[in-house]
Structure 1
Amino acid sequence: MPFVNIRITKENGEPTTEQKQELIAGVTDLLAKVLNKNKASTVVIIDEIDTDNYGLGGKSITQARKEKS
């Protein structure tokens, strides 16, 4: 059973429900095409990460973006 975990930042209203559905379908199709995996047993999890919840260079992404603009 393939298990794919997508981690993406949640910003400006994205990803939308429609975008997440497209990601799930696209990843499932890709695994079926490239690795010949059964679509019915492919699991796709999308973790949406708030920019306050991760950092780079000692600063949260939210903070770094505020300083940049």
Structure 2
Amino acid sequence: MAQRSHAMPTFHIELFEGRTLEQKRQFVEAITQATCESLGVEPNSVDIILTDVKRENWATGGRLWSDAE
């Protein structure tokens, strides 16, 4: 593995499942670009971990999102 010269920003992002692969591609490209511009790092130093979460496993205000459907 290549050594990285800058501190590696790592993003852990949770979102409801159902996004397409293309939406995820566009999303991570946008996050990477914004990170490079604002932090002055190279794209290969930006790690993004996406976690798809079922609505039944996410609650806001004491209510499961799956119950809101």
Q: Pick the TM interval, shorter chain.
A: 0.7 to 0.9
SS at match of 2:48: strand
> Percent of aligned pairs with the same residue?
23
**Aligned positions, number:** 62
> Please, which of 22, 28, 31 is the counterpart of residue 26 of structure 2?
22
Runs of 5+ unmatched residues, structure 1: none
Paired amino acid for 2:9: P
Runs of 5+ unmatched residues, structure 2: 1-7
Distance in structure 1 (CA, Å) of the matches to 2:11 and 2:61: 27
SS at match of 1:31: helix
Q: Which has the higher helix share?
A: 1
Q: RMSD across aligned C-alpha pairs, in angstroms?
A: 1.2
